[in-house]
Amino acid sequence: MASALGIASDGLPVSLPWLREALHTAGIEMHAPDVIYYVAAAGVSATQSSTRCEVRPLAPDDAALFDGFMAQISPDDQDDASVELGHWAAFGAFAESELLAVSSLYPWGGAAIADMGVLTMPRARGKGIARSLVRAMIEYAGKHGYEAQYRCQFDNVASNGLAESLELAPYGKWEVACLP
């Protein structure tokens, strides 16, 4: 990246701190890193949540329901999760016919990887609802020849906790430059 930007390192090996400073000096900031998780060979944790919810695929005729849900979610949460009804597959988790969480999958990077995002109503968080959605997406992706990939912000304690509770394996951190 440094070479492509024409940033010289004075012949020294480029270190990540050096590159960050050079990018900052050039007016290029980095998004906060994401952690990428995948399903390890052992599969997902068999621990079931005690939450009783119905998980089902969402269809285009669920648009009003989906839009009503999204109207209650902060723009920052929406941006971080990247959940859209128009993605390759979308799911909803319902309790007593109320939509409490949504998720979606989409093929990522031209490979047989399906990236997933999850959003849960603030009042319904911490109850195992997102865990049910992630399990459904992993199963769906596998049935369609894709490996599910869970990605969340490095500093999102709840999302990282969800991945760990399912025994998803961390693959690495991913950072993207914010170009001016």
From the CB of residue 64, how many other CB atoms can be counted at a distance below 10 Å? 8
Q: Give me the pLDDT at residue 39, please.
A: 87
The pLDDT score that the predictor gives to residue 179 is: 67
Q: Write down the pTM of the prediction.
A: 0.80
Residue 128 near residue 156 (C-beta atoms within 8 A): no
The residue ranges of every structural domain in the chain are 1-30, 31-178
Partner residues linked to 174 by β-bridges: 34
Alpha carbons 24 and 22: distance in angstroms, whole number? 5
Q: What is the spatial distance between Cα 114 and Cα 148, in angstroms, rounded to a whole number?
A: 5
Kindly report the CATH number that applies to the domain delimited by 31-178. Answer: 3.40.630.30
Tens digits of residue pLDDT in 97-120: 899 999 999 998 888 999 999 999
pLDDT, one tens digit per residue, over 33-56 is 888 898 887 677 666 555 678 999
